[in-house]
Each structure stands twice: as structure tokens, then as C-alpha cells.
Amino acid sequence: MKDLQKLAALSLAALRDNGADMAACLVSETATQEFTAETEGLNLLRTLFDDSASLTGYAGGRKGSSSVNRLEDSALRSAAETAMASAAASLPDDAWELAQEGGGVLTYGAVECDLERLFLRTQELIDAVHAQHPTVTVSQVIALHSVSHTVYANSYGVVYQITSGCYEFSLEVSGHEGDKTSSLNYSGILVNDLERPVLEQGSMLQTVRDAEALIDPPALTGKQVGTVVLSPGFLGEMLSEAAELFTGDDGMINGTALWKDKLGQQVADPAITFGSRPLDSRIVGGDRVTDEGYPAEDYTIVDHGVLKQMTLSRYGANKTGLPPAGNSELHLVMEPGDKPLADIIRGIDYGILAGYFSGGQPGSSGDFSGVAKNSYLIDHGVLKPISEVMVSGNLAEMLNHVVAISRETQCDGDSVLPWAAFDGITISGS
């Protein structure tokens, strides 16, 4: 293993030599052991090594950054030159900030690989799909274990040595029946151990079931306003968009964020409580250090509909005068409801159950429009497979029109989310 602390110190020195009066770097090496399986079965085992470094320098309030995928001294010195050349071309801004104290040694996750068990769980996944869902073809499975050694260091003497590891599984499947076929479906999970069958976790099983059920489904016709039940994956995408658009750096600094003056006020239905929780035991590989070198903390964004915290970086906080968020990456955890998903569906006269969303980012107003894939019509409480449909609405309004939130949650290692039903959504068929 390389001496990452020495390389981090070299990077900081190179940034200073090129004129930086404040600097930070992240130096990392990752080892990955990966199984790949395609239709015919397991066909590849390989070990991959990845080195990377990110250097950021500041001079007179001007910021510049550069990244490289080599850790040789010459590559780091070149990256420092590039970062400071970028800084020289930028505008000065006194809102940039780095942590001036802290640091330590952090180790978490699955840092050792059980390669034999990884192989067995991968083969078990393929066998289970074939045995239980004969109309479903496994196009590809990728199963891997990765461990990363990272050093964060800045010019104030803050140094973190971080070691983390995890297992990751991704599955691609499609349904086939005669000359009819479903679209290619994908699911993935992150886990810290191999105690449970892969098919039982995250959205793996639902993805397989969708591939089976959505072989040549009928098209929905017409256009109607109804209720949409969002899968955890779909819901997570909408919550992430809301957090970024309505509370993030860009919208808050330029004044376009819909919730810019709503801190401490009701912005969503009282049934909604969610936040970013990298330290939650169910989250795999959540960040432990912010981009500025502060220890990461869990925080709540919306509590029973009330906006509690903006998702601001330290820079964004300094620009707006509001408190910074507790971490730099969104690891969403939403509180469940008290109603089983089956009961929610039974109570809906007209709507759809939507698997995931394919469309552009909502505008600053919150308006969204896109394709709901892996969808089912809800007709008086009964699910009926349908082909892709368009859904449109306004994100801010949607969050204030909750029909129900499920008791069940789904964890994929990156988030823990329920199913949620919202009304007032426009559903458009062919």
C-alpha cells in the first residue's frame, strides 16, 4: 500500500509552492474484487486497482481544483499547477472555508472480503431467478467487494485516515415469452455483510417480478389526474430533487429556491419526515467527513412537514448566513407511515404504481414531466400491468398532497425509504 499521508503532504506542499494560501487534498487507493456473470453463468473474476487524487487550492479567495488518477509525485505536482492555474482564472470570493481542527483514523464497513461467500451468494442469486421466475433472463450480474484507503488533509493540519469497504451487487434482467419481451430492468444494492440472500434485499425481487409481469403490457390511453404511488427509488429521486432545488447552494445563493425563506415553516404534508443520515447503521459507506474537512453528522431536512435544515455546504452557508448541512452527500432516510402498501393500493380508485422515473430535472419552480417506467394501473384497488406512461406535476405541490405513506421501507444501502402515494398528478397514456 502506498504512503498516502506522504502523498497528501506532497500535494499540499505543491499547492503552496504554486501560490496557495489555503489548500486541501483527498488521496485514495481502492482495490476491487469482482465477479461478472452473464446469461450463461459466471464467466469472469478480476481484481482492479484504482488510484485517485483531488487537489484544491485557494489564493486571495480564488479557488481552483484538479483531479488525477495517478499518485506519482510528478502527477500530483502537475495537478497542483493545474489547480492553481484554475484558481488564477476565477473570481475572488471570501466565502470559501476549510476546517481548522479535527482529524483522526476512521475504519468502517466490510474492509475484509469473503471471496468464497461472495461467489456463493452470486451463484445463489442467479439460480434463484432461474428457478423461481422461468420467464426471466438474467442478462448480467456484477458482484464485487471494494476497500478504499483515503487520506484527507488540509493546510490547517487537519488529517483524516479513512478505511472503508463494502459489497455491491447489480442485476440486469428482462422477461421473455415467445416473441414478446419486457424492457431491460436494473437493480443494485450495497451491503456490509453477506448474511442474507441478495434477492431478498433492496428492490432486487421487485425488479425480477416487474420483468416477469411487464412482458408486452397494454398501453394506457387518455389523460387523467389521479394518484401516483411512488416506489422507494422513485420517491428518493423526487426528494433528492426537492432538496437540491429548494434548499441547495445554487438556488439559495441565486435566490430561486422555493423554500429560501421557509426555514422553520410548513413546506410539506405533516406525514413527511426525512433527512440525510450517513451514520445510520443501514447506510453503507456513508461519508464521514464533509468536503471542507468537518466530521459528517446526520441531520433532518423536513420534520413532519416543517423545513428544519437547508442542504447548504459551508460555502453556501457563508454566502446566505444560514447554518450549513451536517454532511456533503445525501443519504436519504424517510420515516415510514402506519399503513401497509397493499391497503394503500386497495384504497385507490384510479392511479398508477410507478417503479422509476425517466425525465429531466424539474425546473426551479418544481414543475416536472417524464416517463414512469415499470408501472401498473391501479383500477379500484387492483393492479394491472401497463406500458410506460407520462406523469407530470409540481414537486412542491406534490409534497403537500400525501394520500398515504407505507409502513414498509426498502433499503438499498444508500437510502431507506417507504412507498408514498400522492394525488393531483397528471397521468397521460398514448
Listed range (50-54, 102-106, 363-367) with the worst mean pLDDT: 363-367
pLDDT digits (tens, 9 = 90+) for 305-337: 999 999 999 999 999 999 999 999 999 999 999
Can you give the pLDDT at residue 314?
A: 97
Which of these, 39, 95, 43, 85, lies nearest to 64 by C-alpha position? 85
Say if residue 361's pLDDT is above 90: no
Which of these, 193, 208, 237, lies nearest to 334 by C-alpha position? 237
Relative orientation angle of helices 115-132 and 204-213, to the nearest 10 degrees = 30
Query: Which residue type sits at 116?
Result: E
- Please give the full DSSP string across 56-98, using - where no structure is assigned: EEEETTEEEEEEES--SHHHHHHHHHHHHHHHHTSPP-TT---
Identify whether the C-beta of residue 386 lies closer than 8 Å to the C-beta of residue 352: yes
- The CA distance from 218 to 206, in Å, is 20
Confidence of residue 179 (pLDDT cuts 50, 70, 90): confident
pLDDT digits (tens, 9 = 90+) for 181-227: 888 899 999 999 999 999 999 999 999 999 999 998 999 888 999 99
- The CA distance from 332 to 274, in Å, is 7
Which of these, 408, 356, 401, 429, lies nearest to 227 by C-alpha position? 401
Number of H helices, E strands in the chain: 9, 21
Identify whether the C-beta of residue 129 lies closer than 8 Å to the C-beta of residue 206: no
Can you give the pLDDT at residue 40?
A: 62
Supply the pTM of this predicted model. 0.95
pLDDT digits (tens, 9 = 90+) for 20-71: 999 999 999 999 999 998 866 677 889 999 999 999 999 999 999 999 999 9
Identify whether the C-beta of residue 172 lies closer than 8 Å to the C-beta of residue 140: yes
Can you give the pLDDT at residue 39?
A: 67
Can you give the pLDDT at residue 43?
A: 77
Can you give the pLDDT at residue 174?
A: 94
Identify whether the C-beta of residue 76 lies closer than 8 Å to the C-beta of residue 12: no
